[in-house]
Structure 1
Amino acid sequence: MAERTESNQTAPAERQPSRGRPRDAERDRALLAATLQVLQESGYGGLTTAAVAKRAGVSTATLYRRWRSKEDLVVGTAVSWASDLGPQPDTGSLRGDLAVLLRDKAETLEGPGGRLLHILIGEAAHNEALARVLDSAIVQPVRDRAAEVVRRAVARGDIPPLENAHVLADLVVGSMVSRLFLTPDVTYQGATDGPTSGEAAIGELLPFLLRALGAPPG
C-alpha cells in the first residue's frame, strides 16, 4: 500500500469507517502512542503510516479507517496528547490564579504533549494544518484561561483594566516554551531532591508577570 504523506491525499471510500460501527478506543490509543514514539525516533519527515501501524500491531488498513493520511494522523495525535486545561479555578488572588495557570502549562509542556509539540514546532512553520491545530490545541485554551485570570483580577481591583487580556497568554506560552524548550537549566534536569525545570520556570516568571500586569508589590 502506498504511503499517504500529503494533506490533500485521502483514503479510498472503502477505507472510511462504516456508519454505526463503533471505534475501538484501545486500538486508537495504541496508534496514537505509536505515532508519538515514531515521531520521537524519526521526526515528522521520517514518520510513515506503515511504521506506526507496525509499532501499534495493526494493519495499515486499520490505521486508514481512522486517519486518511499521515498528516491527519499526526494532527490527531497532537490533539489527543495536548492537555485539556479545563476551566480556570478561582484561587481568590491574582498570584494564585497565575501560579495555577503556569503550573498547568508547565505540566503540559513537560509531558507527552510537550514532547510532541517540541517535535512539531519546526514542521508547523511550513505546514498550515499543523500550525492551526497547535494553535487551537495548545495556545487557545491558555488564551481563554488567561482572559479569565485578568477578568477576575480587574473585578477584584488587583490590577487596572487591560486593553488586550490575551497578551497574558502570549507571555505565558512564549516564556514557558522558551524556558523549557530552548534554554533549560541543566541543573534541574533529572533532579530528585530539587525543583523541576517547570517549577524553576514558574518561580522566575510569576513575579515578572505580576509586575507586568501592574499588580502592587508584595
Structure 2
Amino acid sequence: MHQLSIEEAVVAGRVCDKAVFDAFLEVIASQGYERATTRAIAEAAGINEATLFRRFESKQNLLRLAVRSNFAEFELDLDAPGDDVAADLVTILSYYTWLYETRSGVVLTLMREAKFNPEVASVLTEPEKLLERVDRVVLHHQQRGSLVVEPPRHTFFALVGPVMMRAIARRVDQRATQKPADPATVVQRFLEGHRQR
C-alpha cells in the first residue's frame, strides 16, 4: 500500500488506473466530490478529459472503481479469523492506519457528502461491506471470550478512534509532528480495556 512512483504510474506511455485513482482521490480530498470537475481530475492524473471518459465512463464510476481499488489492497482473510485476537486486530488496524494516514481527507469528505449526494452514498457500500466483515471478526472473538461483549461497531470505533483522531489532528494542525500510530501498540492498549474479565 504505497503511492506510485512516476515510473510505476506510466506504463508504456499509458497512465495506469491506480495513478488515476490516486489523483482523483486527492482532487476529492481538496475540492470535494461535487466540486471536483472532470477537467481537474484529468489534469491531476496527467491524461486528457476525453481519455478519462473513455476509460471510466463517468465521475461516479471512477469513484466506485477508486474506492474498490483501495479496499482490494486490503488483503485480509477476514472471513476466517484466527485464535489470536491481538493478531486479527493488528491486521485490521494496520489497514485503517494506512487508510487514515493516506486518505483521511477523502474519507471525511465522502462521509460528509454521502448525506446529501446519492452518487456518493451508493459508492460507500464497499466500505460498509468491509465493516460487516470486521464485525464478524469482532463477534468471533467475543464468542471466544477474548473481547468484551458489546455491539461490534462500538468495538470497532473504540479500536480505530485513536488512529483516526491522530490522522485528523495531523491534517488540521500543520505543526503536528506526531508519527503515525503503531498498530501493535494501539491494539495492546485497546485490549487492556476490552478483554473479557
TM-score (norm 2): 0.68
Q: How many angstroms does 1:122 deviate by?
A: 0.8
1:108 matched to 2:95? The reply is no
Superposed counterparts of 1:4-19, under 5 Å: none
Superposed counterparts of 1:23-172, under 5 Å: 26-82=15-71, 83-88=73-78, 90=81, 92-112=83-103, 114-134=104-124, 136-151=125-140, 154=143, 156=144, 158=146, 167-172=151-156
Closer, same or farther: CA 175–76 of 1 in aligned 2, 3 Å: same
Q: How many angstroms does 1:48 deviate by?
A: 0.4
How far, CA to CA, are the matches of 2:155 and 2:145 in structure 1? 21
Closer, same or farther: CA 58–98 of 1 in aligned 2, 3 Å: closer
Q: How many angstroms does 1:65 deviate by?
A: 1.3
Q: What is the RMSD of the two structures over their aligned residues, measured on CA atoms?
A: 3.7
SS at match of 2:99: helix
Would the aligned equivalents of 1:34 and 1:55 in 2 still touch at CA under 8 Å? yes
Would the aligned equivalents of 1:85 and 1:104 in 2 still touch at CA under 8 Å? no
- Which sections of structure 1, spanning at least 5 residues, go unmatched? 1-23
User: How many residue pairs get matched?
Assistant: 180
Q: How many angstroms does 1:129 deviate by?
A: 3.4
Q: Indicate the structure (1 or 2) with the bigger Cα radius of gyration.
A: 1
Would the aligned equivalents of 2:89 and 2:187 in 1 still touch at CA under 8 Å? no
Question: Relative CO higher for 1 or 2, CA cutoff 8 Å, sep ≥ 6?
Answer: 2
Q: How many angstroms does 1:64 deviate by?
A: 0.7
Partner of 2:181: 196
**Could you list the per-position Cα deviations for residues 135-162 of structure 1 after superposition, in whole angstroms to 9, with x for gaps in the alignment?**
x3223223213313432553x45469x6
Would the aligned equivalents of 1:32 and 1:77 in 2 still touch at CA under 8 Å? yes
Partner of 1:180: 164
**Could you list the per-position Cα deviations for residues 157-186 of structure 1 after superposition, in whole angstroms to 9, with x for gaps in the alignment?**
5469x6xx9x31453147635862499567
